Structure 1
Amino acid sequence: MDASQFYSVVVPLYNEAENAPLLIQAVHDALKNYPYELILIDDFSTDETVKVVKDLAAPNVVLIELKKNYGQSSALMAGIDYASGDYIITMDGDMQNDPSDIPMMIEKLNSGSYDLVVGQRQKRQDNLLRTFPSKVANFIIRTTTKLNVKDHGCALKVFTKDTAKELDLYGESHRFITLHAHMNGARIAEVPVKHHSRKFGVSKYGIGRTTKVINDLLLLLFNQKYLQKPIYLFGNIGILIFGLGMLINFYLLILKILGNSIGGRPLLILGILLVFVGIQFFTTGIIIDLLMKTYYESQKKRPFNIRKISSF
């Protein structure tokens, strides 16, 4: 790890009064020979978390207090926005991640010119309510994208500054930071890291958030495949449904020509309905395509990210 570089460790906290002192000490032990800042973001804790951190008044520690409980994604975004390090490290505040893995991860990032190194938790110390949704999400991501990362839920990650600053985190999307970075063109490596059981407090994540996670995942997958070309999704669905409706109506037309009564057939209603639904899907694709263009142009965004510009 290069001592000439500056490191920012970003950690969201919510009701972690017992773990905060252990976290601060563990980060100091791991990075004591390097210039660093530890950015703790209190997500409107209802226990003594803020008081404990302030009473410690530890060097190199920055405490950001949010006005209300916004959730982990917003807390991470606040910390990343504030961070000034050449490398930005994220981890959970429950002491299940081990800061001693950070130097190894930074070495890995530099050794392969990676933009992001993510941890893969070994012998994960969590119950089924946490591991099952994580396994489902990891499986879906691996099978629907080209990103071969086995543990998207591990909070311990090391970013280059530019990679972290490009992230836009909303909802529960902090669980898919690796996929966000992949969509932005980041080069990613995964390394095994230690994982500990929680000593104090209780998990703030359970099966109740599974539907939120699935919704965010589906939105991310849509953005990855169709954000810049929504007409390909909605237009293709519309053409398929419209074509099926027209086939049904053509079949009924032939029956009518042959002298059969079709007025009382449910198939007639289905055929007409499919034609109108197909048209609606196609026109929806056109509208979303226009909204996509407005999204990029109104904010002067570009549908691409430039890694580097060199002049010779």
Structure 2
Amino acid sequence: MAQQEQLARLRYGHIGTPGCVCHAGAPQPELGDQLDAVAARLTARGHAVEVIFVDDGSRDRTAEILKQMSAGRPYITVIRFARNFGQTAAMSAGFDAAAHDVVIPLDADLQNDPADIPRLLDKLEDGYDVVSGWRRHRKDTFVTRKIPSWAANKLISRWSGVALHDYGCTLKAYRKSVMSNVHLYGEMHRFIPIYAAQQGARVAELEVNHRPRVHGTTKYGLGRVPNVFLDLLLVQFLWRYGTKPMHVFGKFGLANVFLSFVSFAVMVWFKFWGGKDFVSTPLPALAIMFFLIGCLSILMGLLAEVVMRTYYESSSSRTYLVRETYRDGDVVRPGAVALPAKRAS
């Protein structure tokens, strides 16, 4: 079955309270009833509800199931992709479609429990910007799923500095404000909490329910481990050097230039005092190789600086994120409203 993605957006009805977006995989008919129950709970608390499904180019009965699920549920909207673009693209489409305060990805294979959504929202109200689900009692195979997941979570937490037990859990809650500068490519959806933390988000973790898989087959296994490692390297590089690429390319280039001069000095010493000709050692080749690598690295750093500055200036993107703005005792959240005029005395 082709991968299908569903995004549900549940919006709180009053200003200053988080809304919610739910993302899902292959949808099951039972999901509609479960979303109805969650929607009823949120409606009873005074919140408006909207659900957006994104069908990721399915070739089975997914479109028909979604169409039937939307019948009689005016809060449901369905978006269909022209072809399969993958989970990250589907999540990105859902984030783009969500115009309210919070997004919550959710798998639609019924392994995630939609009943956990209100608990995630309650945790956000404690002052957090991201609440990550933790499948502490995970119902998956031990060798092919649990062990690689445990190792990957340890590695990602250590390298990123954002300690979470379960990066692979789709069920998470994000405030939309910390997602404004986050753009998703490739398979980067699993690193969204890191992107958010890099924007200054406060991250928390909450245990969520996890059910055994009864529909479909997983597309994740040991073969994804190298991808996770490489994506983590990319995330760390972009965070540390995304706005100053010359620092990494330039330092590497200068180190190689230094090694080339060292090789040249040793080569000269051997020539005059060591009793060996230039051609008797690999030092001439090493000196030339290190020098060329150093020059090319510095040039790559210059080109990366040009590309980086062109991107930020042409897209009007900022290299910072404002959490709050104060004026005369009033607090204005970024992007919400204009700065207030001075209060009358």
1:26 maps onto 2:34 in alignment: yes
- Are residue 123 (structure 1) and residue 137 (structure 2) matched? yes
The Cα offsets for residues 232-265 of structure 1, whole Å up to 9 and x where unpaired, read as: 2111112222212211210111222225322232
Q: Displacement, 1:10? A: 2.8
Tell me what 1:311 maps to.
327
Indicate whether 1:10 and 2:22 are aligned.
Answer: yes
Q: Which runs of 5+ in 2 are unaligned?
A: 1-10, 43-47, 329-345
Aligned match of 1:42: 55
Query: 1 CA distance for matches of 2:222 and 2:285?
Result: 42
Indicate conservation of the 8 Å contact 1:11/1:91, yes or no: yes
Amino acid at match of 2:95: I
Unaligned runs of 5+ in 1: none
Could you tell me whether the CA contact under 8 Å between 1:43 and 1:75 is conserved in 2?
yes
Residues 1:239 and 1:132: Cα distance change in structure 2 (over 3 Å): farther
Query: In 1, are the aligned partners of 2:104 and 2:172 still within 8 Å (CA)?
Result: yes
Q: 1:209 corresponds to which residue?
A: 224
**In the alignment, which residue of structure 1 is the partner of 2:278?**
262
- TM superposition shift of 1:101: 1.4
Offset of 1:8 from its aligned partner? 3.8
Partner of 2:214: 199
Q: 1:55 aligns with which of 61, 68, 84?
A: 68
Residue type at the aligned position of 1:235: G
Deviates more, 1:170-179 or 1:200-209: 200-209
CA offsets 1:80-124 (integer angstroms, 9 cap, x no match): 21123332221111111111111111111111x111111111111
Percent same amino acid at aligned positions?
34
Matched residue, 1:107: 122
Query: After superposition, what is the alpha-carbon deviation per residue over 1:16-56, rounded to whole angstroms, capped at 9, x for unaligned?
Result: 4xx2x222222221231322112111101122111012123
Alignment RMSD: 2.1
Render the CA deviation track for 1:202-244: whole Å, top value 9, x for unaligned: 1122333333333322211110111111122111112222212
The alignment partner of 1:201 has SS state of: coil
TM-score, normalised relative to structure 2 = 0.82
Q: Does 1:272 align with 2:284?
A: no
| Separation in 2, partners of 1:165, 1:288 | 24
Q: Distance in 2 between matches of 1:22 and 1:11?
A: 16
2:104 touches 2:171 (CA, 8 Å); kept in 1? yes
TM-score for the superposition, normalised by structure 1: 0.91
Give 1:87's aligned residue. 102
Cα distance change, pair 252–209 in 1 and its aligned pair in 2 (3 A): same
Find the aligned partners of 2:292 and 2:21 in 1 and give their Cα distance: 54
Matched, 1:76 2:91: yes
Checking the alignment, whether the CA contact within 8 Å between 2:20 and 2:173 is kept in structure 1 is no
Distance 1:101 1:289 in 2: 45
